[in-house]
Amino acid sequence: MSEHSTTPGTGPDLTGVENTVGPTSDTVKVEQAAAESERTSHGGGLMSGAFGRNIGLVVALLVICVVGVATAGDRFASVDNLVTILRLASIVGVVSIGMTFVIISGGIDLSVGAIVALASVWASTYATQNMAEDTSWLVMVFVALAVGGACGLVNGVLIAYGNVVPFIMTLAMLASARGLAEIISERRTQIVRVEGFKDFWSADVLGIPLLVVIFALVAVAGWLLLNRTTFGRRTLAVGGNPEAARLAGINVKRHTTLVYVLVGVCCGLAALMYLARTSTGSSTHGTLLELDAIAAVVIGGTLLTGGRGTIVGTVFGVLIFSTLSNVFVLNNQDSSTQAVAKGLIIVVAVLLQQRLARRSVST
């Protein structure tokens, strides 16, 4: 997968038009101003800049792997351990792919963790499971995806047509979806007892756990969707400059809605993966998942202001986090040190990306 193809190419300068969909806080304006001034000091091609960003991610992941091998040796560099890392990455990964689209479109979704919780609970209630036992476990799959999609639809419609700022709308969804999950489950953990579901979802495909396969498929599908379809190009356009996108004939409101439905469906899928991995549905599933997903997307080089971002970068971002936490466990580090180190590594990764990007821009 090449980074080059994810860049939308050149076009007329439309930066003057205010972004009306994305976050419009003061910080964003300051960032834009800072970015403006930097633009004047550097010429050069965008391609190389974007390429540099991914080089930074590769370097960061390699460094973590080298640390892993150096400190844990074969315990790190084994197939079993690789599978463990990928399994950990898969749930966050699926959500992060969806989140990438939302952020590229200039929005944000803080409600992903809560939607995962709600979908996992809804798909594992007595009623749903009874129906699934009478018919097919696909009922649970349908319920989870439908609940996720419906939450995304509510987010999207209110953001696009109700003009609620994404941050606020999804914050409201975060609170209410988790609250609803608690009401439905009475804050109890619901155990999955549909054998067909458990058998299918815990299976391996050619020795690879199904969860990892799903993550890979979603990543590939996300890459194709972003880089090879009108939907992807529209997402970039809407995030880059919604007004220009509207003038270019894109139905910005409808597109924004669709993007939130997309991330909602990803959350439904992640909920199914939680059901498979834990054999339970719970209102506590996915707690703080939104932060992990946003961090992975941003580390991956997607701009919080929208208009630019890559699926490859997001996948790297997810892998960096899960590999990190694996290396920490292997090295028996306590949680406080880990938290500090994690934060430092985020900053270093971002700085590294910037340096490399700048260097490749100026040469």
Which residues within the stretch 54-83 sit at the binding site for other proteins (CB under 8 A)? 75, 78, 80-81
Beta bridge partners of 258: none
Nearer to other proteins, 207 or 249 (CB): 249
Among 22, 240, 264, 268, binds other proteins (CB under 8 A): 240
Q: How many residues make up the chain in this entry? A: 363
Question: What minimum distance in Å lies between the beta carbon of 154 and other proteins?
Answer: 25
Question: What minimum distance in Å lies between the beta carbon of 162 and other proteins?
Answer: 25
Identify which of 111, 32, 24 has the alpha carbon closest to the alpha carbon of residue 308.
32
Nearer to other proteins, 76 or 260 (CB): 76
Nearer to other proteins, 155 or 235 (CB): 235
Site for other proteins contains 5 (CB under 8 A): no
Q: Which stretch binds other proteins (CB under 8 A): 86-94, 149-157, 166-174, 213-221?
A: 86-94
| Alpha-carbon span 299 to 297, nearest angstrom | 6
Among 5, 24, 125, 333, binds other proteins (CB under 8 A): 333
- List Cβ neighbours of 271 (8 Å cut-off, separation of 6 or more): 115, 116, 117, 118, 119, 120, 123, 144, 147, 148, 281, 285, 286
Nearer to other proteins, 27 or 163 (CB): 27
Dihedral angle sign, alpha carbons of residues 240, 300, 273, 281: negative
Identify which of 287, 288, 310, 285 has the alpha carbon closest to the alpha carbon of residue 298.
310
The answer to whether the beta carbons of residues 311 and 223 sit under 8 Å apart is yes
CA 170 from centroid of its chain's CA atoms: 15
Site for other proteins in 124-163 (CB under 8 A): none
Site for other proteins in 180-239 (CB under 8 A): 182, 186-189, 191, 202, 230, 233-234, 236-237, 239
| Alpha-carbon span 238 to 54, nearest angstrom | 23
Q: Which stretch binds other proteins (CB under 8 A): 10-18, 153-161, 220-228, 260-268?
A: 10-18
Site for other proteins contains 87 (CB under 8 A): yes
Site for other proteins in 15-34 (CB under 8 A): 15, 27-28, 31-32, 34
